[in-house]
Amino acid sequence: MKKSKGIKYVTKKGGVFWPSDAMKEIANMSDPKIYDKAEKNPVKFWGELAKGGLTWEKEWDETYEEKLPYFKWFKGGELNFCVNCLDRYLDKPKAIAMIWVPEPTNEKPIKITYGELYDKVNKFANVLKQNGIKKGDVVSIYLPMIPQALTAMLACTRIGAIHSVVFSAFSADALKARIQDGKAKILITADGYYRQGKKEPLLKKAKVAARKTTIKKIIVVNRIGGKVRGGKFLDFDTEIEKANSYCKPEIMKSEDTMFLLYTSGTTGKPKGIVHDTGGYATQAYWTCKWNFDLHRGDVMWCTADIGWITGHTYAMYGPLLTGATTLIYEGGPVFPNPGRWWKIIQDNEVNVFYTAPTAIRMFMGGDKKWISKYDLSSLKILGTVGEPIDKESWMWYFNKIGGGRCPLIDTWWQTETGGTLINTLPGIGPFVPTVSGTSFPGTRHAIVNERGGAVPKGDSGFLVQQSPFAPGMLHGIFNNHKKYVDTYWKKFKTMYDTSDGAYLQNGLIRITGRTDDVMKVAGHRLSTAEVENAIHDNWHVKDCAVVPMPDKIKGQVPIAFVVLKWRKSSEKLEKKLKKHVDIKIGPTARPKRIFFVEDLPKTRSGKIMRRILKALLINEKPEGLMTLVNPNSVEKIKEVVSARS
C-alpha cells in the first residue's frame, strides 16, 4: 500500500464513528459477517487463519484439544517462529524491518532491513549455541529499547531457546528472582541506555542480579561506551562479528514454549506466564492484520517497552510476522521537548500508532504547539491499551493526534492472552469513546455474576473468556500448576477468569478495570502484595497495606499505610522505605505516599480491608465498618490522611 496522506478514514453517523469508504477499501478486514462465520465454528476458523497466515513445516493433526485447565492449538503441527518473521520475507531483503530512533538527537535513526536483521539474528543464534544454549533452555534478556533486543529475542526463537525478557527499569532483585525461577544460563544485557538526556546504567544491576545464580555468561551490548572484558562477560557485537552467518532453524512443535514473561498477580511473587509458539504466532499475526491493518511496508509504532507483553507482540513480533516495519524509540517521551513523539511520527511517516492512556493524559496537559508543529498526516490507525480510557482523553487523542481522521481502537487484553482480544476492527467499527467493543472473531467473552451465571444485559459483572480459548492464551504458569488453577480457573471452572470487570453498552463491551488487588500504574501492572512485601522487609514495620489511589496522569499510584513497631515515624524512614521499594522492584512501584498509622482496619479473621483504605483516599464514605474488629482505626486513619492531603 502506498501512502496517500491525510485521507479521512472515519465518518460520523448516529453520534459515533465508523470506517469511511476509504478505510473499508484498504482494510484487510471489512466484512461484518466475519463474526458470525467465526462463531459457527471457531476451531475451524482458527485452523484456516493459522494456515493462511503462517508458514508451517508440518501440518497439525488436531486443530484444538481441550483438557481443562489446559488446551493446545495445532497439536502435532511444526514450525519455526523466526522463519515466520524473517526467512519468508527475504524475497524483498531491502524492505525495512525496523526503524530505531536513539534518544540523543545527535544520533541519527537507523533503518535495518529484513536482510540485515536476518544476518544478525542467524549470527547471534550461533553465538548462543556456541555458548551452550540448546532447545528448551531459558535465556534472560535485560535490555533497553535498542535493536539488539529484537536480534536477541529472535535468535532465541531460531534455536528454540525460551526467552524471558525483564523490564530494564526493574531492579536487580526483581531480575534475580526471574533468573532464578527460570534457571537461565545466559543473561543478555547492555552497559546502559539514554533516558531523558541521561546515561542510565544497566550492567551494574545485571551483575548484582546474576551473582550466585545459574547464569554462566553475560553478553553485553555496548550502548553508552562501557567496556567489558573477560571472565563471564562477552561483548555482543564482537561475538556477532566472529559468528557463522547461517544458523539452521530449529523446527518446533506448535505447542512448545516460546517465551516466559513474568507478571504481577495478587500475591507477592510474580508469575512466569508461559506462551507457546504456533498459537501465539497465529494470534499475533491476525490481530496485526485486522486490528492494525498492517500491510507490507506499513510503519507501526507501538510505544510499549519490550519488558511488557505489548512490547513483545506489537513492538517486535506482530509487525515482523506480517512483513511490516516496526519503529522503536529508545528514550523518554518529552526529550528534548514535548514534541519528540510527534516529530518521530512525522519524520518516519508512521502509519499505525499504539500507546497507553497514561501517555495521552500526560500530553493533554502540555502546550498544543508541540503537536501542531508537526505533520501527522501519515497516520492511519490509532490504538490504546493498558487501562480504561476516559472520554475526554479519547476525544483528544482522536482529534489532536488523529486529526479526526483515524479509527481509534481501544484494545483490551492481558499478558496472559498474548494478543489483543476485545476491540472493534478499524474496517468494521464502530469507534465509541471509552468502549472497547467486540470479541475478536473466533473468541468468546461473557459478563457473569459471582456464580458464573450471565448478568442481565447492561449490568456490571466479571469478564470471562469461554471455550474454545484463544490461540494466544497462556499455557500455564512456569513450574506452578496450582497457581495457574487458582488464579484463572478456580472461580468459574470452565471459563477463564480475566479478573476484570465489564458491562455491555449497546451490545459493546466496556471494561471497568481490575476486580482484584492488581494496580495499573502508568499502564504498568503491579500487585499491591509485592509492594507490601518490600515494605515489610524493614525491621521497624509491624503491618502494612498498599492500595491504589486514582491519579490524573498515571491512572493509579500506590499509597502505603504503615504501622510501626515502636519507632516514631519520620521523613527519613519514609524515604528509606521508598528507596527499598526501588531496590526490591523498581521505581515504577515506589509508593507516592506513605501514611504512618496506628492500626489498619481488619476483619475478625485478620484480613486487612483495603477497600476501606481506598475509600478514605478518595474522600468517600467507607462501607463495611460493621465487619471490623477495630472500627476506631478508621477515624484515626482519616485524620492522618486529611492532615497530609
137 vs 387 by CB, closer to ligand WT7: 387
Query: For residue 554, what are the contacts with CB-CB under 8 A and spacing of at least 6?
Result: 358, 521, 522
In the complex, what is the shortest distance from the CB of residue 340 to ligand WT7, in angstroms, rounded to a whole number?
Answer: 23
In the complex, what is the shortest distance from the CB of residue 79 to ligand WT7, in angstroms, rounded to a whole number?
Answer: 24
DSSP track, 457-505: TT--EEEEEESSPPTTS---BTT-HHHHHHHHTTTTTTSEEEEEEEEEE
In the complex, what is the shortest distance from the CB of residue 517 to ligand WT7, in angstroms, rounded to a whole number?
Answer: 12
In the complex, what is the shortest distance from the CB of residue 436 to ligand WT7, in angstroms, rounded to a whole number?
Answer: 5
Handedness of CA 212, 215, 221, 227 (dihedral sign): positive
In the complex, what is the shortest distance from the CB of residue 199 to ligand WT7, in angstroms, rounded to a whole number?
Answer: 28
Site for ligand WT7 in 325-384 (CB under 6 A): none
> How many C-beta neighbours within 10 Å does residue 399 have?
12
Q: Is 284 in the site for ligand WT7 (CB under 6 A)?
A: no
> What SS3 state is found at 5?
coil
78 vs 516 by CB, closer to ligand WT7: 516
In the complex, what is the shortest distance from the CB of residue 512 to ligand WT7, in angstroms, rounded to a whole number?
Answer: 8
Query: Measured between alpha carbons, how far is 394 from 534 in angstroms, rounded to an integer?
Result: 36
247 vs 408 by CB, closer to ligand WT7: 408
Q: Is 150 in the site for ligand WT7 (CB under 6 A)?
A: no
Contact range with ligand WT7 by CB under 6 A, out of 193-201, 212-220, 404-412, 447-455: 404-412
520 vs 584 by CB, closer to ligand WT7: 520
In the complex, what is the shortest distance from the CB of residue 590 to ligand WT7, in angstroms, rounded to a whole number?
Answer: 18
Among 102, 192, 388, 472, binds ligand WT7 (CB under 6 A): 388
By DSSP bridging, strand 192-195 and strand 186-190 are unpaired
Contact range with ligand WT7 by CB under 6 A, out of 210-218, 390-398, 413-421, 607-615: 413-421
Which amino acid appears at position 269 of this protein?
A: K
Contact range with ligand WT7 by CB under 6 A, out of 209-217, 233-241, 336-344, 412-420: 412-420
Q: Is 193 in the site for ligand WT7 (CB under 6 A)?
A: no
HEC string of 186-230 equals EEEEECEEEECCEEEECHHHHHHHHCCCCCCEEEEECCCCCCCCC
Q: What share of the chain is helix, strand, coil (3-state, %, to 5)?
A: 30, 25, 40
Q: How many CA atoms lie within 13 A of 192 on its CB side?
A: 12
Site for ligand WT7 in 485-524 (CB under 6 A): 498-500, 511, 513-514, 520
Among 412, 488, 561, 595, binds ligand WT7 (CB under 6 A): 412
Q: Is 427 in the site for ligand WT7 (CB under 6 A)?
A: no
Q: How far is CA 248 from CA 88, 122, 140, 401, in A?
A: 14, 8, 22, 44
77 vs 419 by CB, closer to ligand WT7: 419
In the complex, what is the shortest distance from the CB of residue 104 to ligand WT7, in angstroms, rounded to a whole number?
Answer: 29
Query: Measured between alpha carbons, how far is 356 from 308 in angstroms, rounded to an integer?
Result: 12
Contact range with ligand WT7 by CB under 6 A, out of 53-61, 185-193, 238-246, 411-419: 411-419
In DSSP terms, 72 is beta-bridged to: 65
Contact range with ligand WT7 by CB under 6 A, out of 37-45, 127-135, 386-394, 592-600: 386-394
Q: Is 436 in the site for ligand WT7 (CB under 6 A)?
A: yes
Among 355, 414, 528, 533, binds ligand WT7 (CB under 6 A): 414
In the complex, what is the shortest distance from the CB of residue 393 to ligand WT7, in angstroms, rounded to a whole number?
Answer: 12
Site for ligand WT7 in 534-563 (CB under 6 A): none
Q: Is 263 in the site for ligand WT7 (CB under 6 A)?
A: yes
Report whether 90 contacts 114 (CB < 8 A): yes
Residue 334 is classified by DSSP as T
Residues 205-244: x/- map of binding to ligand WT7 (CB under 6 A)?
A: ----------------------------------------
Report whether 384 contacts 397 (CB < 8 A): yes
Query: For residue 399, what are the contacts with CB-CB under 8 A and spacing of at least 6?
Result: none
Query: Measured between alpha carbons, how far is 645 from 635 in angstroms, rounded to an integer?
Result: 15
Query: Measured between alpha carbons, how far is 549 from 385 in angstroms, rounded to an integer?
Result: 20
In the complex, what is the shortest distance from the CB of residue 629 to ligand WT7, in angstroms, rounded to a whole number?
Answer: 32
Query: Measured between alpha carbons, how far is 132 from 217 in angstroms, rounded to an integer?
Result: 10
Q: Is 385 in the site for ligand WT7 (CB under 6 A)?
A: yes
In the complex, what is the shortest distance from the CB of residue 152 to ligand WT7, in angstroms, rounded to a whole number?
Answer: 22
Query: Measured between alpha carbons, how far is 286 from 443 in angstroms, rounded to an integer?
Result: 13
Q: Is 424 in the site for ligand WT7 (CB under 6 A)?
A: no
Query: For residue 288, what are the contacts with CB-CB under 8 A and spacing of at least 6?
Result: 294, 300, 314, 318, 319, 321, 322, 324
Which amino acid appears at position 444 of this protein?
A: R
Q: Is 288 in the site for ligand WT7 (CB under 6 A)?
A: no
Query: Measured between alpha carbons, how far is 316 from 288 in angstroms, rounded to an integer?
Result: 11
Closest CA to 538 of 576, 571, 568: 576
249 vs 265 by CB, closer to ligand WT7: 265
Among 123, 525, 554, 590, binds ligand WT7 (CB under 6 A): 525
Number of residues that bind ligand WT7 (CB under 6 A): 22
- Please state at what angle helix 172-182 crosses helix 571-584, rounded to 10 degrees: 30
Q: Is 386 in the site for ligand WT7 (CB under 6 A)?
A: yes
163 vs 312 by CB, closer to ligand WT7: 312
Q: Is 200 in the site for ligand WT7 (CB under 6 A)?
A: no
Residues 13-42: x/- map of binding to ligand WT7 (CB under 6 A)?
A: ------------------------------
Closest CA to 644 of 601, 600, 592: 592
Q: Is 310 in the site for ligand WT7 (CB under 6 A)?
A: yes
378 vs 498 by CB, closer to ligand WT7: 498
Binding residues vs ligand WT7 (CB under 6 A) = 263, 309-310, 385-388, 410-415, 436, 498-500, 511, 513-514, 520, 525
